[in-house]
Amino acid sequence: MLVLGIESSCDETGVALYDTQQGLLAHAVHSQVAMHEDYGGVVPELASRDHIRRLVPLFEQVLAASGLAKTEIDAIAYTAGPGLAGALLVGASFATSLALALGVPALPIHHLEGHLLSPLLAHDPPVFPFIALLVSGGHTQIMRVTGVGAYALMGESLDDAAGEAFDKTAQLLGLGYPGGPALAKLAETGTPGRFRLPRPMLTSGDFMFSFSGLKTAVLTAVRERALTDADKADLAAEFQEAVTEVVAAKALAACRQACLTTLVVAGGVGANERLRERLDTAAKERGVRVCYPELALCTDNGAMIAFAGALRLQAGLAETTVGNGAFVVKPRWPLATT
Ligand code: KG4
Ligand code: ZN
């Protein structure tokens, strides 16, 4: 079964072809980062317009790379939410109209389900049940996953997501957009501990997070005095220590509470080296296996959407919208309800 995946929920246009026998055949992503950079964040209207420009060429590129014809596609999975409404509508309308033309089902997919299942695309995939740590620009969640479509929320952020905190802090330090990778790079050259930042909710005894106070603490440090480049690096290092310490501790505590020995990490912040180092060390001590998606599949992409669609179809869980071409997008959509 050949599934086309379409991702357009935010600032990346992703297209992929996944075959249930042969695996991922081809995938391509266009990032809009350069376009939004001048504005210091994603401009929704520009994002939608760019998805419109990119989708068809990316689709043709992926088809050519796979050597297949579009008539061989058996189903089209697309991100139906959560995300920017206009951006989602571009992918949804493209996927639904192509599905209608080809006479195949269109499958609305939850963006976070795509992230959550993406480590299963790896060479030696984890097996259910496992704990999933979702750390992206929009979400920080810990879920107990017992199978495809069976996700129980154990905890999440009460305010900013981890990626959002990275981005906002990077902006405070003058690092531009998107700040996460830039802040991580600067942190490599800094010394944590010289500035002292809080570890929010580290000892709260649950799986909830809060990152907005951390960002405010950085703002206070920035306002107190003019920071040198060395100060900024030290502050970045301390910020990264604070976020990764809390995230790693809670993820491992969730494994212990659920008596599970597999931890799956997904979402853009999952690319953070310091987070990986901490998770790997703590997991080793506790006999937990940590699984990550390939680095290229950590951030938004079409492969994870095609893959989630294929798994849902195989599990008989796909909610298809074939026939009348009607579709809806859900800018806000809790994963536990899928
Ligand atoms: O999953 P993703 O691509 O998009 C969402 O669905 O949100 O995640 C993007 C987020 C951004 O906030 C970005 O700054 C962050 O992931 N990010 C990182 C790193 N790479 C991406 N944060 C910290 N360290 C990184 N290396
Ligand atoms: Zn994402």
Q: Which two tokens stand for residue 331?
A: 């800018």
Give residue-wise pLDDT tens across range 35-77: 998 888 899 999 999 999 999 999 999 999 999 999 999 999 9
What CATH number did the domain enclosing 47 receive? Answer: 3.30.420.40
Which residues neighbour 17 within 8 Å (Cβ) at sequence distance 6 or greater?
Answer: 2, 3, 4, 5, 24, 25, 26, 27, 62, 63, 66, 68, 73, 306
* SS3 call for 135: strand
204 and 102 part of one domain: no
58 and 112 part of one domain: yes
CA 229 to chain centre: 30
CA distance 121 to 73: 20
Report the nearest-CA residue for atom 16 of ligand 1: 268
Number of structural domains found in the chain:
2
132 and 203 part of one domain: yes
Q: How does residue 335 score in pLDDT terms, banded at 50, 70 and 90? A: confident
To test the pocket of ligand 1, the residue of 133, 136, 278 to mutate (highest count of ligand atoms within 8 Å of its CB) is 136
243 and 309 part of one domain: no
Q: Is 300 in the pocket of ligand 1 (CB under 6 A)?
A: yes
The answer to the question of residue 123 being in a domain is: no
- Domain-ending residue, one of 292, 308, 327: 292
Q: How many CB atoms lie within 10 A of CB 46?
A: 16
Q: Which domain holds residue 24?
A: 2-116+297-337
Burial call 319-338: b when 16+ CB within 10 Å, e when fewer: ebbbeeeebebbeebebeeb
The mean pLDDT of the chain is: 95
27 and 96 part of one domain: yes
Ligand 1: nearest atom to the Cα of 184: 24
Whole-structure pTM value: 0.94
pLDDT at position 177 is: 82
Q: What percent of the chain has pLDDT over 90?
A: 90
Ligand with smallest separation from the Cα of 138:
1
151 and 241 part of one domain: yes
105 and 142 part of one domain: no
The answer to the question of residue 121 being in a domain is: no
15 and 30 part of one domain: yes
Q: Report how far ligand 1's centroid is from the alpha carbon of 136 (Å).
A: 5
Ligand with smallest separation from the Cα of 166:
1
132 and 153 part of one domain: yes
The answer to the question of residue 122 being in a domain is: no
282 and 171 part of one domain: yes
Q: Is 268 in the pocket of ligand 1 (CB under 6 A)?
A: yes
Which secondary structure element, helix H or strand E, spans residue 198, and what is its range?
none
**Is 70 exceeded by the pLDDT of residue 323?**
no
The answer to the question of residue 264 being in a domain is: yes
Give residue-wise pLDDT tens across range 234-248: 999 999 999 999 999
Give residue-wise pLDDT tens across range 284-294: 999 999 999 98
**Is 80 exceeded by the pLDDT of residue 321?**
no
Mean pLDDT value of segment 181-208: 97
164 and 94 part of one domain: no
Mean pLDDT value of segment 203-216: 96
CA distance 251 to 164: 19
Q: How does residue 338 score in pLDDT terms, banded at 50, 70 and 90? A: low
The answer to the question of residue 102 being in a domain is: yes
pLDDT at position 326 is: 82
DSSP for residue 199: -
pLDDT at position 325 is: 78
The answer to the question of residue 317 being in a domain is: yes
Ligand with smallest separation from the Cα of 298:
1
The answer to the question of residue 183 being in a domain is: yes
The answer to the question of residue 56 being in a domain is: yes
188 and 261 part of one domain: yes
293 cis-preceded (ω within 30 degrees of 0): no
